[in-house]
A = this chain, B = another copy of it.
């Protein structure tokens, strides 16, 4: 196993009454001038923005607002936020929403004190120095950004989708009320379920497979989401189901499920090119390519896929034919995705097959600039990324 650092300092206030703590938490973490950052009008309509304003007002914290963050958040909006923060001497960005809003808030937070353009961070040309504080009132369980060190932003100029990670903009607090997720449409709930599972699985499919505790916890997270995710879709106001999914979203991506492993992340990066090109929902994109990735790489360490099949997907272990067991695990995962309305191929995702030219474009953009590869469970070169896209294109 690998040496690891586990660092998840975010103070999580979880539960039906957690919103009553927003003002006190903002004060506790030193906020004096806050930028309330959000997406569309649903945060207004639901009354949540009203609660946030009231909480900050009563706590004596000044605040400004910037809405309009879209899924696959844009660097243009980040730049807008940075300008406001500089002009108004903001000290904390409070993201009210899901992963897109939090990621946008993080980029604002490390960009505000940086002299150059914020996209430099995503190009590897800048490293986070002094940052604004970031906190969140979470409404969409999926991205796990509320406890993670990362953020992913899209540059409209060329539709590049890139990530940047720093401990400096981990949320200082995250307020999580499962009731706020009652109004999430089924499709979005399903996308979240896929994203949560994939954050766990990207770490779980590792050649460093000797940290039993991490594996057992990862499997616990996956089984919980398999069990309760569909309930949350069928009964949108089932508190218990919404709570499982919401907390799983945080634990899946705060590094707990990856202690001692070397994550793979190829599926995520293959998907980033899909959603950058076709602006599809990240979760749906992940579901569309994972099965193809899994079939393509499973031979690298079949025992891992056998374990996944038996311990997570409840497949009967065929001790004589591990290949069959492994394949059944992949098939059962795909059947689960379909059962919650998620695509398991690119044509299902975007309504048509991608062209060979698009395959080449995506594989080209997906190559890491340093290694020209992706993934760790199996290192994929450009040609192999094309193969996975083609497999997923059927």
Contacts and interface: CB of A to CB of B under 8 A. Distances in A.
A144 to B, nearest CB: 14
A227 B210 CA distance: 13
B243 A211 contact: yes
Contacts of A16: 3
A62 interface: no
Given A5-B11, A220-B213, A240-B1, A247 B228 contact: no
A8 to B, nearest CB: 6
Contact of A247 (B213, B223, B248): B213
Contacts of A6: 11-12, 14
A109 interface: no
A263 interface: no
A165 interface: no
Contacts of A15: 1-4, 260
A294 interface: no
A219 interface: yes
A258 to B, nearest CB: 12
A9 interface: yes
Interface string A208-232: 0011111011011101100110000
A13 B5 contact: yes
Nearest to A259: B247
B244 A227 contact: no
Contacts of A82: none
A227 B215 CA distance: 13
A244 B212 contact: yes
7 contacts: A4-B14, A4-B15, A5-B13, A211-B244, A211-B247, A213-B224, A214-B247
A133 to B, nearest CB: 14
Nearest to A11: B7
A17 interface: yes
A188 interface: no
A213 B3 contact: no
A223 B220 CA distance: 11
A243 B217 CA distance: 15
A18 interface: yes
Contacts of A211: 240, 243-244, 247
A212 to B, nearest CB: 5
Contacts of A224: 212-213, 216
B13 A213 contact: no
Max chain B C-beta neighbours (<10 A), residue from A13, A240, A243: A243
A251 interface: yes
A173 to B, nearest CB: 9
Interface in A247-281: 247-248, 251, 256, 259-260
Given A214-B247, A217-B221, 5 more contacts: A210-B240, A211-B240, A212-B227, A212-B244, A217-B220
